[in-house]
Amino acid sequence: MARLNIPEREQLSLLCHGPCLYFPHGNICMGLTTKEIGVLVRESRKKMKVTQKDLALTSGTGLRFLIELEKGKETCQIGKVLTVLQALGMRIQLTAPAGSREEN
């Protein structure tokens, strides 16, 4: 998969008790709605000066899918969402709740 040309960024570490999203333009602890994720995707895309069409082509998704993702559609396919996030240089970090896994 092709990846957009994203300037190197300093990784910020967060002390977060839940899932966190790491964005090219700042990091956020989860608790986000689909609409908020859509806004973050749109803002990151625009800051990179990438059109919806170009991002759809780069991420291998359709333009209609990207439009719906940016609008916060709740039924977007998670695999495609992850592909778009990867193309934007974003990643999701999930952390299991304390005590949910046995530590060695």
Q: How confident is the model at residue 62 (pLDDT cuts 50, 70, 90)?
A: very high
- What integer is the mean pLDDT of 22-48? 77
**Which domain CATH number covers 67?**
1.10.260.40
pLDDT at 101: 61
Q: How confident is the model at residue 29 (pLDDT cuts 50, 70, 90)?
A: low
- Give 66-75 contacts, CB < 8 A, sequence gap 24+: 69/37, 69/38, 69/41, 70/38, 70/39, 70/41, 70/42, 70/45, 71/35, 71/38, 72/33, 72/34, 72/35, 72/36, 72/37, 72/38, 72/39, 73/34, 73/38, 74/34
Confidence (pTM): 0.65
Within a domain: 82: yes
Within a domain: 46: yes
> Where in the sequence is the domain holding 55, given as residue range(s)?
33-93
- What integer is the mean pLDDT of 18-46? 72
Please count the structural domains in the chain: 1
